[in-house]
Amino acid sequence: MSYTHGMTPRERVVSLIRTGSADQLPLMPITMQFAADLIGKPYLQYATDYRVLVEGQLRVADQFAFDHVSAISDPAREAADYGAKIVYHDNAPPAIDESDALLADKTALLHIKHPDPLGGGRMHDRVLAIEELSRRTGSDRIIEGWIEGPCAEAADLRGISTLMLDFYDDQRFVNDLLDFVMKTAMSFARAQIDAGANLIGIGDAAASLIGPELYEQYIFSREELLIRQIQEMGAMVRLHICGNTTPILEHLGRLQPDIIDVDSMVSIETARKIMPGSMVILGNIDPVRTLRDGTPQSVYSAIGHCHLQAGPYYIVGAGCEIPRDTSHENVRALTRYAREHKP
């Protein structure tokens, strides 16, 4: 698929963020299992060997004319380096074993240490992916690093259900845990930026589960600090919170990341009304019912509706990861819409 354009992909994204204008709409969907399948590699290799991830990201970006490449693979990298028990599957993402959470005993927080992002573990593997993507793409495409947000990482270490109870039962412990994981998040972001990332994605899915009061009390100021520090390091920030974030849209708008993903459970019209008009919204179409199960024509129309509701500050993508069994024709419908429309 070949498209001519006046801007490089990186210039396109930066211009949209800064001015709301570009030669074409940027195209930045999340691809993980889809990218691994595209190169015929089991997902275990994609998630644990940076060279396979790089191969997959370069292939998917070239084949579908994406404006970025990304080192996202799974939420277990930081947790693995803390020493959490991770379950590895041959052809599915690594997952946290919550039945044997690292911090099942809260006092264990006193003894664990911050992992070194360059210490040879899974975080280091992601940094190596960023280095290789930077070497292979230069300044052409956006190079996206990824970290877990404070609520998500706290849930990974404590267990999501247990953490939900902690919010009510032990506020001091929750604050200590959140402050602890923030330090690792910042050092991991810095290592990826130093390696060549010019955009850091923050995945904080658990934050969609706690409601606006707890979000304001525990998460807002920490996400805000994380975003500001990454921006001060010289990178842009993409905030990705899966699920129904409608109750916290006003809070998310005040955070002012450079890009915010809006999942399909949220009305994009509502998101635009609540959040600032210059906030860049990415995605929103249902990855399964619309993107995977639709037709090229229905996918094209759905993205057009999102663009209309979001206005010029919009990036083409799905509400979350493109499912691995999505037809290539449906993914190309995303590309076709992006390349045929300006903000």
61, amino acid identity? A
Rounded CA-CA distance 15/282 in Å is 15
Reported as a pLDDT band with limits 50, 70 and 90, residue 45 is very high
Domains and CATH numbers, the chain: 1-28+262-343 (no CATH), 31-242 (3.20.20.210)
Average pLDDT of 223-239? 98
Concatenated DSSP letters of 11-68: HHHHHHHHHS--SS--B----SHHHHHHTT--HHHHHH-HHHHHHHHHHHHHHHT-SE
Q: 316 with 337: CB under 8 angstroms?
A: yes
pLDDT at 1 over 80: no
Identify the pLDDT of residue 5: 59
Phi/psi class of residue 241: alpha, beta or left (left: φ > 0; alpha: ψ in -120 to 50)? Answer: beta
Residue 257: both structure tokens together: 């990341």
Nearest to 8 by CA among 70, 94, 71, 66: 66
Reported as a pLDDT band with limits 50, 70 and 90, residue 2 is very low
Compute how many other C-beta atoms are within 10 angstroms of the C-beta atom of residue 308: 11
With 0.85 as the threshold, say if the pTM is over it: yes
CB burial of 257-295 (b: ≥16 within 10 Å; e: otherwise) equals bbbbbbbbebebeebbebbeeebbbbbbbbbbebbbbbe
Would you report the helix, strand and coil content of the chain in percent, each value rounded to 5? Answer: 55, 10, 35
Half-sphere exposure of residue 121: CA atoms within 13 angstroms, side-chain side? 17
Average pLDDT of 13-31? 97
- pLDDT tens string 91-129: 999 999 999 999 999 999 999 999 999 999 999 999 999
pLDDT at 321 over 90: yes
- pLDDT tens string 158-210: 999 999 999 999 999 999 999 999 999 999 999 999 999 999 999 999 999 99
Nearest to 68 by CA among 146, 16, 143, 147: 143
Rounded CA-CA distance 159/173 in Å is 14
